[in-house]
Each structure stands twice: as structure tokens, then as C-alpha cells.
Amino acid sequence: MSKVSIKIVIAGRNYPLTINEGEEEKIRKAVEDINTNVQKLQESYAVKDMQDLLAMTSLQLATRANATPSDGKERVVKSDVLEALTLLSQTVEGE
């Protein structure tokens, strides 16, 4: 399978990714879910630190993924969450 390069924005920061061809829609949906959740947290709580908002978003998405029955679709969602968490942790460590 060939690779493609895309650019995504999570919580206002740009991230270049190299992904397998055909995964772009899945990745963009995960990015949308993350950004929507971060925005909801910002509006609901007095938390201003983006790292805290990302951590809480990660926790919420992982909790939702683990709370649902484990069929094929949910395993994909769990892997998306883990992939996003890995990307975010690598980015935060690299700062």
C-alpha cells in the first residue's frame, strides 16, 4: 500500500503526517472529533492550558471507546484513539 502525506490541525497546531493511502478520511474524522471535544471542554470549563484540554479529550475518547462492545468497528475506533494519543505524546515530548 502506498503512503500519502497530509497536514492536519489539532487544537490549533499543525501536524504533517504520512499515512497509508485510503486512511485519510478516518484520520480527518478523528481530528474533527478531537477538535470538537477540545472546543466543548474550553466552553464548559475554565481550563486554558491546551495540554490539559488534550489530556481530558484523550481520556474521554478512550473511555468511550472502552465502554462500547468490542466488535470490529469499535476496535478501529480504539486504534484511532491510540494512534492520536501516540502522535500527541510524541509532539509534546518534542517541544
Q: What is the pLDDT along the chain (95 residues), one digit of tens a residue?
A: 799 999 999 999 999 999 998 999 999 999 999 999 999 999 998 888 999 999 999 898 888 878 866 655 555 556 666 666 666 655 554 54
Contact 68, 74 (CB under 8 A): yes
Report if pTM > 0.85.
Answer: no
Whole-angstrom Cα distance, residue 41 to residue 57? 8
Whole-angstrom Cα distance, residue 34 to residue 57? 7
What the block records as the C-alpha cell of 24 is 485519510
Q: How far is CA 19 from CA 7, 26, 35, 68, 83, in A?
A: 10, 11, 20, 27, 11
Residue 70 has what pLDDT? 60
Residue 12 has what pLDDT? 92
